[in-house]
A and B are shown apart, each in its own frame.
Chain A
Amino acid sequence: MKLHEYYSKRIFGEYGIPIPPGELAKTPAEAQKIAKKIGYPVVVKSQVLVGGRGKAGGIRVAKTAPEVKQHAEDILALTIKGLPVRMVLVDQAADIKTEIYLGITNDRSARKPVIMASAAGGVDIEEVAHSTPEKIIKRHIDPLMGLQSYQSRDLAAGIDLPREQWREFGKIALGLWKAYIGSDATLAEINPLVITGSGDLLAVDGKMVLDDNALFRHADLEELRDLDVDQEAEIRAREHGLSFIKLDGDIGCMVNGAGLAMTTMDIIKLFGGEPANFLDIGGGASADKVAAALEIILSDSNVKAILFNIFGGITRCDLVAKGILEALSEVKTDVPMVVRLVGTNAAEGRQLLKNANMETADTLAEAAKMAVKAARG
């Protein structure tokens, strides 16, 4: 789950990282009030969970009260990469001399967090990593020991930070590490971390991504979830305990198991079709889960056929077939369906479905071809 800039910086502030004075506004009038309180010039920043806000006109500097009002009005009317701007952060504008980058993320292959610094701040760090990887200094952090001061000094020296700023930089790096661990983040990043005209360090932009699996430890943060970034169907699926991702194709997929669900999408594509979704209904394929999943798939008007691909292991295929038929008696639809059952008691399961006039297939390849044909009508 991604956190907005204002909240990421609020967390950073709680861990002793210097951030500019600023507050959140939902109307131009609120923005003016905040600007008056913190003093001009200010930066009016759209709070949407996408990159490239500046280029889209979502970040503007204001020197006067009418300018704040105008910018806030304009920005609150924007839709950036499909996301409506619902709030702006009004920050005191910083006197920026130099921009650097500081971030912590998980390194999967090292199985450790990694802290990264770069003198090339203020730009997309993935771009820097791609084109000039030598400009990023990295140190792995032992998850049992935490970030050590010498590692921060290594980073500071590595990016040629003036020595008089090392101490302050070390404090910020430690604060970022504590924010990262304390919030169960998978990414905590300050970009840019600026050196001001007076030689102070200041986190003017921040980003945090939290581990969804750890949200049980952070009920307060879970409440901040921005539902604009999720498709409505994905939200409903989450409520039913289903793992669902909307795609652009026209063949709905209902599968048990994530790996098999991906494979089903792949094979639809292999035989010339386009999957409409990823959907893992989990182990048993019970009638109520199948019904909920069917409703979610059918809420997409692009869907022209549905492919069920269920492996019956511990749950027998005949029981799965009964679950599917029960769900279909609840959810009425004319969308053609192809069912492929494999595993324990598959023959019995298929017979039950055939008796109910459903199309069944023995192999995944055959099922995918049938679904592609059905979708073409």
Chain B
Amino acid sequence: MSILVNKNTRLLVQGITGQEGLFHTEKMVSYGTNVVAGVTPGKGGEWVLNGKIPVFDSVNIARNATGANATIIFVPARFAADAMFEAADAAMELIICISEGVPVSDMMRVRNFLDQKGVRLVGPNCPGLLTPGEAKVGIIPGNITIPGNIGVVSRSGTLTYEVLYALKNLGLGVSTCVGIGGDPINGTNFIDTLEMFQEDPDTEKIVLIGEIGGTDEEQAAEYITKNVTKPIAGFIAGLSAPPGKRMGHAGAIVQGGTGLAEDKIKALEAAGVKIAQHPEEIPSLL
């Protein structure tokens, strides 16, 4: 088992005819993900990947035609809010938004609308999800990890790949890797993911990778103390980051004394999480 995505995932790709959308669809399909259709407004009726995958004009039409139950969004940031609204309105159960640079005001509206609809969102500005051996829904390289019993959740991209690869080199595999993204306002957060990992019988250990900005890690620490019994190892990036500067990710900023790496590390350690000094230490802490 795993969380969020598996071999039963029937995936739509919004923005499938764009450069990134098409590139990553090919990677997802060759990994074995069941990509059932794509959506690009105005290109309904076309086919991509040598006639293997049909393109529809809207999520609603695509869902009715294919029975898709999840959608991944590769559209440019300025169109991402519309794509998420459309997916939620078409009753997709799970939306993964890869797009980077979505305005905060858009995300506040999207998140509030999705909460009312009861739709789960992962991202935006995230690498997506990977359940090794079953489904790759996003841009996490498929060859850097193997199936196993470690659940990984992270706000970062390549930093997560580092950890996956380090685990693989020691023969350690992953149940599901969840990239929740680096934006200040996103969908699924640490707590949501920890709850799923705690309930997933095939996840025995958890890796949590956080970074400066916001208080998600502190809230996760509180949740862990009360609800998580599985062992957790973690890493927090940004101990050396100066305050007031956005470190690449829109959400990675220390502001008004909140969001400090030290505070997050302290909170997580108090909750029993073993914090690595650098990411290569993580496997030895599990």
The interface of chain A, by Cβ under 8 A from chain B, is 106, 108-109, 111-113, 126, 129-130, 142-144, 181, 184, 186, 211-214, 216-217, 243, 245, 247, 255-263, 265-270, 275, 278, 280, 311, 313-314, 342-344, 363-365
Residue among B182, B241, B278 making CB contact with A278, cutoff 8 Å = B241
Check A266–B155 contact: CB distance below 8 A. no
Contacts A108-B251, A261-B247, A278-B248; A344 near B156 (Cβ below 8 A): no
Check A108–B184 contact: CB distance below 8 A. yes
Check B161–A343 contact: CB distance below 8 A. yes
Task: Give the contacts of B122-152 with A (CB-CB under 8 A).
Answer: 139-141, 143-144
- Closest A residue to B111 by CB, please name it: A111
Check B158–A259 contact: CB distance below 8 A. yes
Complex Cα distance, B157 from A144, in Å, reads: 31
Complex Cα distance, B243 from A247, in Å, reads: 11
Contacts A216-B78, A262-B247; A186 near B104 (Cβ below 8 A): yes
Check B238–A266 contact: CB distance below 8 A. yes
Q: Could you say which residues of chain B place their CB within 8 Å of the CB of A256?
A: 158
Q: Could you say which residues of chain A place their CB within 8 Å of the CB of B250?
A: 212-213
Residue among B139, B156, B239, B240 making CB contact with A259, cutoff 8 Å = B156
Q: How many A-B residue pairs have CB under 8 A?
A: 160
Contacts A216-B78, A313-B141, A343-B144; A262 near B109 (Cβ below 8 A): no
Most buried by B among A245, A247, A258: A258
Residue among B77, B161, B185, B241 making CB contact with A313, cutoff 8 Å = B161
Interface status of B226 (Cβ within 8 A of chain A): no
Interface status of B47 (Cβ within 8 A of chain A): no
- Closest A residue to B245 by CB, please name it: A245
Complex Cα distance, B103 from A78, in Å, reads: 36
List 19 extra interface pairs beyond A106-B184, A212-B250, A245-B247, CB under 8 A.
A106-B104, A106-B185, A108-B215, A109-B215, A126-B256, A143-B109, A186-B104, A211-B105, A213-B102, A214-B104, A214-B106, A245-B245, A259-B211, A263-B162, A267-B278, A311-B162, A313-B144, A344-B144, A365-B278
Report B221-262 CB contacts with A as 1/0, cut-off 8 Å. Answer: 000000000000001011111100101111110001100000
Min distance, Cβ B257 to any Cβ of chain A, angstroms: 7
Check A343–B165 contact: CB distance below 8 A. yes
Check B159–A263 contact: CB distance below 8 A. yes
Check A260–B257 contact: CB distance below 8 A. no
Complex Cα distance, B81 from A214, in Å, reads: 12
Q: Could you say which residues of chain A place their CB within 8 Å of the CB of B69?
A: none
Check B105–A143 contact: CB distance below 8 A. yes
A-B contact pairs, 26 of them (CB 8 A): A106-B108, A108-B251, A109-B215, A111-B185, A112-B112, A142-B112, A143-B105, A143-B108, A144-B109, A213-B104, A216-B78, A217-B78, A258-B156, A259-B158, A259-B160, A260-B157, A260-B237, A262-B237, A262-B248, A265-B240, A278-B241, A280-B248, A313-B158, A314-B139, A343-B161, A365-B278
Complex Cα distance, B101 from A129, in Å, reads: 30
Interface status of B120 (Cβ within 8 A of chain A): no
Residue among A186, A245, A269 making CB contact with B239, cutoff 8 Å = A269
The interface of chain B, by Cβ under 8 A from chain A, is 27, 77-78, 101-109, 111-113, 139-141, 143-144, 154-162, 165, 182, 184-185, 209, 211-212, 214-216, 219, 235, 237-242, 245, 247-252, 256-257, 277-280
Q: Could you say which residues of chain A place their CB within 8 Å of the CB of B251?
A: 108
Check A259–B112 contact: CB distance below 8 A. no
Q: Could you say which residues of chain B place their CB within 8 Å of the CB of A217?
A: 78, 103
Complex Cα distance, B214 from A111, in Å, reads: 11
Most buried by B among A112, A181, A186, A266: A266
Closest 3 CB pairs of A and B: A258-B248, A259-B156, A257-B158
Contacts A111-B112, A263-B278; A214 near B105 (Cβ below 8 A): yes
Check B219–A109 contact: CB distance below 8 A. yes
Check A262–B141 contact: CB distance below 8 A. no
Complex Cα distance, B107 from A71, in Å, reads: 45
- Closest B residue to A248 by CB, please name it: B242
Contacts A111-B112, A259-B159, A342-B165; A363 near B280 (Cβ below 8 A): yes
Check B237–A259 contact: CB distance below 8 A. yes
Min distance, Cβ B260 to any Cβ of chain A, angstroms: 13
Check A213–B162 contact: CB distance below 8 A. no
- Closest B residue to A259 by CB, please name it: B156
Check A266–B240 contact: CB distance below 8 A. yes
Check B144–A259 contact: CB distance below 8 A. no
Min distance, Cβ B88 to any Cβ of chain A, angstroms: 13
Check B162–A111 contact: CB distance below 8 A. no
Min distance, Cβ A234 to any Cβ of chain B, angstroms: 10
Check B141–A184 contact: CB distance below 8 A. no
Q: Could you say which residues of chain B place their CB within 8 Å of the CB of A311?
A: 158, 161-162, 165
Q: Could you say which residues of chain A place their CB within 8 Å of the CB of B78?
A: 216-217
Q: Could you say which residues of chain A place their CB within 8 Å of the CB of B277?
A: 270
